Homo-oligomer: A and B are copies of this chain.
Amino acid sequence: MAKNKGTRRPKAETPKGFRDYFGAEVSERKAMLDTIAGVYHRYGFDPLETSAVETLDALGKYLPDVDRPHAGVFAWAEEEAGDWLALRYDLTAPLARVAAQYRNDLPFPYRRYAMGPVWRNEKPGPGRYRQFYQCDADTVGAASVAADAEICAMLADTLEAVGIERGDYIVRVNNRKVLNGVMEVAGILDPADPTKFEAERGIVLRAIDKLDRLGEDGVRALLGKGRKDESGDFTEGAGLDAPQINAISRYLHAAQDILQKVMRATMDKSLADATEGLLLDETSRLGPSQSSFSDAQLLWNRLALSHLEFIAEGSKVGAEGVSELETIADLLAAQGYGPDRIVIDPSVVRGLGYYTGPVYEAELTFEITDEKGRPRQFGSVAGGGRYDDLVKRFTGQEVPATGVSIGVDRLLAALREKGRIGGSVEGPVVVTVMDRARMADYQAMVGELREAGIRAEVYLGNPKNFGNQLKYADRRGAPVAVIQGEDEAARGVVQIKDLVLGAKIAEGASLEEWKAQPAQTEVPRGELVAAIRRILDGG
């Protein structure tokens, strides 16, 4: 019990909600970031790297579901000046700061990409970490929704580039202005005084965002008095009256209707079927398509839009939102991005508080098996939208901006689920140590191998127990082990052991048994590199 003599030992643990990444986890993420950067680069985006630390002031408070001041971020006061510093919680807030700080030096529109970890001071949960990677692309200074359309197209290209097949993902697009239109109709947005009902609108948006999870009844409860969840926790509602709730419900119905059909269509990979009955009163306003999907498919997004026009009737901002979505759908259609990849979906909200126009998210549509063995859709891996007021916070001048953030860690998890990645790092050739005094000779061997571009290392542990050296080579995934004892050294030869061929080395086999295996050959010392090269090349 009284083991600690004097000094207390620190715990060898990551803080709660943080984790370590080893070997292939690191290299696979790096490969994905490289691929994404390649697509972003081809689209004309330039890299930007800001530091992890910003003033709390510059970051602002835009995290979803955060009511307490400073909650959600890791923050601390500077020792002397007393300023508050904080770890960035996303890559968008730092970009807004950069766009304001360098507004006279950057070429606008400024297309930039950024990748790196972000930090959220949230309650950690299974698979939910407080540090995770984001990979963002944003266009600052472009008022045209052509910029939003471009980001959506790039998002689709990016997902395919990292290995998500077409049909396994869908990019869903909506517009905050449409949502604002609905809230105007419901009487909780006054165009004359946009600061009124701000809290109510926040609750309504978060409620709509939960439609998938809570269903219509759950959302209606949140629009009204509030809702008690399964654990008994009560969430305060927006306090709307019945006609107001009905106005929003009408929107939710349309959203669900469209969503279900989109989902069905996506899964069937037969949008023509899904849209069939609905195309009767629609006429194509689009020219002849040169792409692979049919006119009927192209009309799908049109159809969603006509639904929305009907709902947002009577709201100027709502009509503007629908019109912007039309432009986006047309631009995408003209470039061949049909609703098999990008759809208009009125249920998309996005949690962050700063969006002002189009919002979009990418969802993986294939099913995975959850911890309890039940099938479920993988869900969202990327999201973004337009935030025309973020730079204005600093400068007072409106600077339009739009962009997307890819959740790289979730995307990696998805590819692992699909078995597309999940290898291990290529193991090194291990040169064993039979004679400690001849370490320089063994080092010379790995030197030659490395010179030839072959990954190689000398066993640097205690060489006494040769079995441990073999176990080590095994655990390192070594393709080849090299052995040179006194006898071999005297004769000017080395033993080369093909560990892939002779993979089933029994733990604890003696050196003699091990040497007797057919996968072992003796070659002159001078042929070491060539012989190993032959084995690695599979000949």
Contacts and interface: CB of A to CB of B under 8 A. Distances in A.
Interface stretch (A49-57, A369-377, A485-493): A49-57
Contacts of A60: 10
A538 interface: no
Contacts of A55: 10-11, 13, 15
Contacts of A14: 50-51, 54, 97, 101
**Main secondary structure on A side of the interface with B:** mixed
Interface stretch (A105-113, A174-182, A415-423): A105-113
B447 A15 contact: no
Given A335-B444, A455-B44, A117 B11 contact: no
Given A12-B394, A108-B461, A461-B108, A20 B50 contact: yes
B334 A460 contact: no
A443 to B, nearest CB: 5
Interface string A68-109: 000000111011010101010000000001101110000111
A462 interface: yes
A457 interface: yes
A394 B11 contact: yes
A271 to B, nearest CB: 21
Name the residue among A78, A141, A335, A456 with the largest chain B CB count within 10 angstroms.
A335
Interface stretch (A142-150, A210-218, A224-232, A510-518): A142-150
B76 A47 contact: no
Interface string A131-157: 100000001011110110110010000
Nearest to A336: B447
Contacts of A539: none
A12 B443 contact: no
Interface stretch (A22-30, A234-242, A262-270): A22-30
Contact of A12 (B52, B101, B142): B101
A439 interface: yes
Contact of A150 (B18, B98, B443): B443
A97 B98 CA distance: 36
A18 B143 contact: no
Contacts of A443: 146, 149-150, 331, 334-335
A164 B60 CA distance: 43
B101 A47 contact: no
A261 B102 CA distance: 49
Contacts of A15: 51, 53-55, 78, 83, 85
A131 B12 contact: no
A461 B141 contact: yes
A460 B330 contact: no
A460 B142 contact: yes
A253 interface: no
A119 B439 contact: no
Given A10-B393, A52-B131, A58-B10, A460 B121 contact: no
A58 B13 CA distance: 8
Name the residue among A10, A55, A144, A472 with the largest chain B CB count within 10 angstroms.
A10
Nearest to A452: B42
Interface in A308-336: 330-331, 334-336
A456 B42 contact: yes
Nearest to A49: B21
A395 B12 CA distance: 8
Given A20-B98, A42-B454, 6 more contacts: A13-B101, A14-B50, A15-B53, A46-B425, A52-B87, A146-B460
26 contacts: A9-B393, A10-B55, A10-B57, A11-B57, A12-B101, A14-B101, A15-B55, A23-B46, A23-B47, A26-B48, A41-B455, A42-B456, A44-B476, A51-B117, A79-B121, A107-B472, A107-B476, A109-B459, A109-B472, A141-B461, A144-B439, A146-B439, A146-B443, A147-B460, A331-B440, A335-B447
